[in-house]
């Protein structure tokens, strides 16, 4: 069980369990098929910033198995959890939307389970709940955001319009953030700008978790990147870490007492290990050896461009009271600036690769309309 998971106060658990169980399949909370509708932003389900926490007289929850929720119900659950942990209404809505988006894409390791890290960071002081991002425009095609020790999601929410405008005016523009908590699922950002007709590249770094090149200890983050292509049928996107696997997968394996592949990490002695707990105490490894290490370092140089911490200097995201103050880099390109037919040419080529060679790059998957949460995770979110 996660170290963040604890038992909720019984009356809190019963109240929210009743409400969320009632939400599943209820068209009054959104479309009956669970599909998204764009209100107030590319990934918003509905504006919940002014909705009070749920209150109702409930029956006790079923404490076995898992809970099946609609996206709208999960958003309420996550928003209330962030509010209870000390997040502002704006931050709570932003994080809830990001969590639901990750779960709908099937990215569970950066979805509701990862939200527990944000909740712990809020309670323990690593994440500033009332952060107020500050935007600077030093050049026509550059947007710089101080996240104010808050979330990257909220910082990008504040600056997204400026980046889209700059990319359309200049053909290409960049958004850089600094002083933020780790950015979570990068596909969230890449998809957001691809939905605006832009080609998007997103890079982020993290606290030191990975060894690179000849290092035998963690000196870099798992440093993910995401890339998205626009199209009228929906973006094509990929999102991947530069490590052989995500850190949360190693943590989950350690909690379950399961071994990991030897190429995933090093133990504290600097040697490859299949012991997940030893890898957490040591360092993860990049994919592809030196090639993956080079990509990780490139990502870090971009992510730290506007003043974000280098991974080696960043405080841990999961312990202590010091914020990691990391960075995020987003490049947005308007392809119509160079070829009005770019979207169609790319789509025709990718469809040819699929038809003739079985290649499905940036595959489009239908978003999930129901989300199953393990019971202990559900209870942890109820506890806030």
What pLDDT digit, counting tens, does each position of 236-291 carry? Answer: 999 999 999 988 889 989 999 999 999 999 999 999 999 999 999 999 999 999 99
- pLDDT tens-digit series, residues 56-112: 323 334 445 899 999 999 999 999 999 999 999 999 999 999 999 999 999 998 999
pLDDT of amino acid 64: 56
Task: Read off the tokens for 202.
Answer: 């997103």
pTM score over 0.85: no
pLDDT of amino acid 232: 86
pLDDT of amino acid 44: 36
Give 189: exposed, middle or buried? Use CB within 10 Å, 0-12, 13-18, 19+: buried
* 217: DSSP letter: S
Provide the percentage of residues in the chain whose pLDDT is more than 70. 83
* 108: DSSP letter: G
Q: Using an 8 Å Cβ cutoff, are 167 and 302 in contact?
A: no
Map out the domains of the chain with their CATH numbers: 10-105+368-383 (no CATH), 134-243+286-337 (3.30.1370.60)
Task: Read off the tokens for 318.
Answer: 């999961």
What residues in the chain have per-residue pLDDT under 70? 1-64
Give the residue from 370, 371, 349 showing the smallest Cα distance to 361: 349
Paired with 331 in beta bridges are 174, 201
CA distance linking residue 350 with residue 229, whole number of Å: 11
Q: Using an 8 Å Cβ cutoff, are 1 and 255 in contact?
A: yes
CA distance linking residue 167 with residue 46, whole number of Å: 27
CA distance linking residue 39 with residue 297, whole number of Å: 37
Give 357: exposed, middle or buried? Use CB within 10 Å, 0-12, 13-18, 19+: exposed
pLDDT of amino acid 269: 97
* 347: DSSP letter: H
Consecutive H or E run containing 371: strand 371-374
pLDDT of amino acid 21: 33
Q: Using an 8 Å Cβ cutoff, are 307 and 109 in contact?
A: no
CA distance linking residue 82 with residue 53, whole number of Å: 11
CA distance linking residue 312 with residue 296, whole number of Å: 13
CA distance linking residue 195 with residue 182, whole number of Å: 23
pLDDT of amino acid 365: 87
Task: Read off the tokens for 63.
Answer: 């404490």
Task: Read off the tokens for 64.
Answer: 């076995």
């Amino acid at each position: 069980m996660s170290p963040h998971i604890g038992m909720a106060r019984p009356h809190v658990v019963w109240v929210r369990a009743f409400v969320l169980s009632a939400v599943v399949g209820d068209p009054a909370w959104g479309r009956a098929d669970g599909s998204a509708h764009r209100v107030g932003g590319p990934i918003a389900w509905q504006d919940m910033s002014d909705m009070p926490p749920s209150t109702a007289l409930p029956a006790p929850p079923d404490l076995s198995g898992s809970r099946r929720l609609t996206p709208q119900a999960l958003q309420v659950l996550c928003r209330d959890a962030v509010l209870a942990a000390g997040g502002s209404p704006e931050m709570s809505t932003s994080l809830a939307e990001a969590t639901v988006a990750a779960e709908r894409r099937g990215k569970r390791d950066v979805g509701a389970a990862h939200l527990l890290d944000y909740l712990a960071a809020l309670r323990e002081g690593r994440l500033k709940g009332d952060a107020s991002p500050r935007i600077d425009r030093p050049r026509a095609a550059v947007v710089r955001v101080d996240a104010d020790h808050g979330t990257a999601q909220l910082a990008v929410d504040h600056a997204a319009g400026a980046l889209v405008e700059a990319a359309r005016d200049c053909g290409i523009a960049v958004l850089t953030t600094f002083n933020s908590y780790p950015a979570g699922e990068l596909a969230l950002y890449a998809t957001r700008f691809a939905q605006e007709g832009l080609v998007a590249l997103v890079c982020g770094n993290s606290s030191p978790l990975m060894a690179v090149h000849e290092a035998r200890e963690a000196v870099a983050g798992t440093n993910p990147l995401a890339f998205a292509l626009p199209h009228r049928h929906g973006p094509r996107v990929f999102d991947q870490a530069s490590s052989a696997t995500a850190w949360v997968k190693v943590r989950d394996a350690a909690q379950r007492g399961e071994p990991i592949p030897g190429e995933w990490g090093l133990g504290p002695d600097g040697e490859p290990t299949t012991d997940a707990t030893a890898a957490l105490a040591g360092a993860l490894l990049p994919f592809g050896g030196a090639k993956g290490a080079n990509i990780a370092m490139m990502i870090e140089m971009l992510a730290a461009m506007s003043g974000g911490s280098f991974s080696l200097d960043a405080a841990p995201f999961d312990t202590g009271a010091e914020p990691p103050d990391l960075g995020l880099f987003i490049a947005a390109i308007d392809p119509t600036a160079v070829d009005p037919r770019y979207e169609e040419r790319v789509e025709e080529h990718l469809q040819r690769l699929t038809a003739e060679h079985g290649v499905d790059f940036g595959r489009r998957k239908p978003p999930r309309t129901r989300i199953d949460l393990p019971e202990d995770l559900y209870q942890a979110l109820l506890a806030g």
